[in-house]
């Protein structure tokens, strides 16, 4: 299915790797001008900037001023905002091991970065009477996991934020949806300090076994790929989904067992 985004300006938070990088790649392939940022660059995102269609900036999106700096790079109008940046730290020590600073850092990146980017982009969308906001949420918003307790809480808050905002701005031409992946084959899970490695170090298990056990919880028996999640996000950002708002789309290989 062709997605035509010619003439649109899109902003993606956390676009240097993983799901964000896949979204940047697919938005640009659809004809959009894409502005993205992350704390550090990557060879993959730098390669996308060669023709000028993708603009990358090194911005710390956990900094309260960071999301607004990114939106400002896009110019006067943002047609599509993909709030993707986030991070999960495994908490094998349980609730009491999560410090005050841990809680604040998790809420800041996983919730407030999206709130701040949305605040910065929304005024222009309201003036234009059109816009799309897609938020990368998580199955942990509805399937809280003590192994990522603070992340689960932040994502639940993010889901509530998106639903409430969709009701406010929907009558003014702006759509807001969330995409909730289960485990995805990215650094968040599989990196050297990702969930599998952290759990393995704490328990003595091989990280590959941790990954395998997590994958086995899905009906499909595997993690999702970044490009599969990006396909869904870019579809929701397009006019193909013009009457979809206030919805959450799960891509988890059947991990959540209930309706």
Share of the chain above pLDDT 90, in %: 88
CA distance 23 to 16: 10
Domain of 199 in residue numbering reads as 189-223
- Kindly state whether residues 202 and 99 are assigned to the same domain: no
For residue 3, being part of any structural domain is answered with no
The CATH number of the domain where 86 resides is what? 3.40.50.720
Q: Which of 56, 151, 161, 223 is catalytic?
A: 151
> Domain tally for the chain?
2
DSSP structure string for 197-235: HHHHHHH---HHHHHHHHHHTSTTSSPBPHHHHHHHHHH
Residues 98 and 169 in one domain: yes
CA atoms within 13 A on the CB side of 22: 18
- pLDDT tens, 61-119? 999 999 999 999 999 899 999 999 999 999 999 999 999 999 999 999 999 999 999 99
Q: 113-128 and 149-169 helices cross at what angle (nearest 10)?
A: 10
Coil, strand or helix: which one is 24?
A: helix
**pLDDT (mean) for 191-216:** 89
pLDDT at 1 over 70: no
Instruction: Give the pLDDT confidence of 114-126 residue by residue, as tens digits.
Output: 999 999 999 999 9
197 and 174, same structural domain? no
Indicate whether 41 and 77 sit together in one domain.
yes
Q: Is 235 a catalytic residue?
A: no
The pLDDT tens digits of the residues spanning 139-162 come to 999 999 999 999 999 999 999 999
Q: Does 115 share its domain with 205?
A: no
Would residue 136 count as lying in a domain? yes
pTM of the predicted model as reported, rounded to 2 decimal places: 0.95
Within-domain flag for 256: no
Q: Classify residue 4: in a domain, yes or no.
A: no
Same domain assignment for residues 85 and 48: yes
Same domain, 18 and 127: yes
């Amino acid at each position: 299915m062709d997605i035509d985004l010619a003439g649109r300006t899109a902003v993606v938070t956390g676009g240097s790797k993983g799901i964000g990088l896949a979204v940047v790649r697919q938005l640009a392939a659809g004809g959009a001008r894409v502005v993205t940022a992350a704390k550090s660059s990557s060879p993959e995102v730098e390669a996308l900037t060669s023709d000028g269609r993708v603009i990358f900036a090194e911005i710390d999106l956990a900094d309260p001023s960071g999301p607004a700096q990114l939106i400002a790079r896009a110019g006067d109008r943002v047609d599509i905002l993909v709030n993707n940046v986030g991070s999960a730290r495994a908490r094998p020590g349980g609730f009491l091991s999560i410090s005050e600073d841990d809680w604040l850092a998790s809420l800041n990146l996983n919730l407030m970065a999206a709130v701040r980017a949305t605040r910065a982009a929304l005024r222009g969308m309201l003036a234009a009477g059109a816009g799309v906001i897609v938020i990368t949420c998580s199955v942990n918003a509805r399937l809280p996991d003590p192994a990522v307790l603070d992340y689960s809480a932040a994502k639940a808050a993010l889901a509530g934020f998106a639903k409430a905002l969709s009701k406010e701005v929907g009558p003014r031409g702006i759509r807001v949806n969330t995409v909730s992946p289960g485990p995805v084959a990215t650094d968040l899970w599989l990196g050297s300090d990702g969930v599998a490695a952290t759990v393995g170090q704490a328990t003595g298990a091989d990280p590959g076994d941790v990954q395998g056990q997590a994958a086995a919880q899905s009906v499909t028996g595997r993690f999702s790929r970044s490009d599969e999640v990006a396909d869904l996000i870019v579809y929701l950002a397009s006019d193909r989904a013009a009457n979809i708002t206030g919805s959450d789309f799960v891509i988890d290989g059947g991990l959540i067992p209930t309706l």
